[in-house]
Amino acid sequence: MRPPPEGVWVMPPEMLKTMPGYDPDVPKSRAEGRRIMEKLGYRADKRLEIEVSTRNLAPYRDAAILLIDQSKEINIDAELEPVDRSTIWST
Q: What is the pLDDT along the chain (91 residues), one digit of tens a residue?
A: 566 667 767 777 788 788 877 888 889 999 999 999 999 999 999 999 999 999 999 999 999 999 999 999 999 999 999 998 765 565 5
Instruction: List phi, psi (to 5°) of 88.
Output: -70, -40
* 53 DSSP β-pair partners: 81
State residue 67's pLDDT score.
96
C-alpha–C-alpha distance, residues 70 and 62, integer Å: 12
State residue 16's pLDDT score.
79
C-alpha–C-alpha distance, residues 64 and 84, integer Å: 15
